Amino acid sequence: MTIRRIAKIFKSRPTIEGAGVHLKRAFGYSQVLQFDPFLMLDDFHTSNPDEYLAGFPWHPHRGIETITYVLEGLVEHGDSMGNRGVIGAGDVQWMTAGSGIIHQEMPQLSPTGTMWGFQFWANLPAVQKMMAPRYRDVKTADIPQVELENGVQVKVIAGEVGGVKGPVADIVIEPEMLDVSVPAGTVFTHGLPLGHTAFAYILSGEGYFDDQRDAYAYEMVGHGWSDTERRCSCSAETVVLFEHAGDAVTITTTDKAVRFLFVSGKPLGEPVAWYGPIVMNTQEELKLAFEEYKQGTFVK
């Protein structure tokens, strides 16, 4: 087993999307090549309804998959395939836009007072960008939680831990998506396929995300212009991007626990043409998509 080292660390940055939703972007357009096949990760976390209720009204997608994971609050979904529903705390919505879908995602007033969730975008390969759209609504009760011998708890959304597989399967990029909680004073080691892109997004606490513990061995992005006091441990609202070499990651905690999302997938290595909610391989394909949207022929 060869442990992967940290390639780069990104600090999420505030932005506004949709009709006025305040969120933090962990990575996006400018990091596409580094995170292939993943395109974007947004973290929306607020207790102010004015920062989330405007939501994401009707808009198109083509050529990608959108994955929404809610920790607190409620999000109402509707799409051009006729799907309707609400996802709440612990639920996942995995939507394959494929050839084209028009949908909306509208956060509702949170019962707890806090809205907290994430949306990933995953790319589709050229041969499947025009596949038939599909929608999966995965309830928290259907997501297995594995407790390992050392007290580590893992919610397995996609992939496999300890012989337990997640409910999301048969996805093009062979993704793994885990919600991992590591207690203080614990080591968590997890294997993954060679060559797959892998990253962790830290939700709370802090930990060491490789065995090197050298804060100057990798680049840190978005941590301020005077980056002279780097810490070896990684904390909340930070993305840890791992190198591709190696077949396992290891996370170590000392006096604090850490909770993070762990995501991996098979890189596509294809050209990316991206504008707004549509991601294709060429500018010609992008132009056609928007022309079809204007003409009313976008949904196949």
For residue range 202-238, what is the model confidence (pLDDT) as tens digits?
Answer: 999 999 998 887 666 666 775 554 455 556 678 899 9
Residue 61 near residue 286, CB atoms below 8 Å: no
What pTM did the predictor assign? 0.93
How many CA within 13 A on the CB side of residue 255?
A: 0
**Which CATH architecture fits 7-295?**
Sandwich (2.60)
Write phi, then psi, for 84 (nearest 5 degrees): -140, 145
Report helix, strand or coil for 243. coil
pLDDT recorded at residue 223:
55
pLDDT recorded at residue 174:
85
Q: How far apart are CA 124 and CA 138, in angstroms?
A: 21
Sorted by where each begins, the domain ranges of the chain are 7-295
Please give the structure tokens belonging to residue 164.
Answer: 């337990």
pLDDT recorded at residue 227:
53
Write the pLDDT tens digit of every residue in 72-95.
Answer: 999 999 999 999 999 999 999 999
Helices (H), 125-282: none
Residue 97 near residue 130, CB atoms below 8 Å: no
Please give the structure tokens belonging to residue 176.
Answer: 């793994």
Please give the structure tokens belonging to residue 196.
Answer: 């797959």
pLDDT recorded at residue 171:
78
Pairing of strands 13-17, 21-27: antiparallel
pLDDT recorded at residue 232:
67
Task: Point out the residues of the chain with pLDDT beneath 70.
Answer: 214-219, 222-232
pLDDT recorded at residue 72:
97
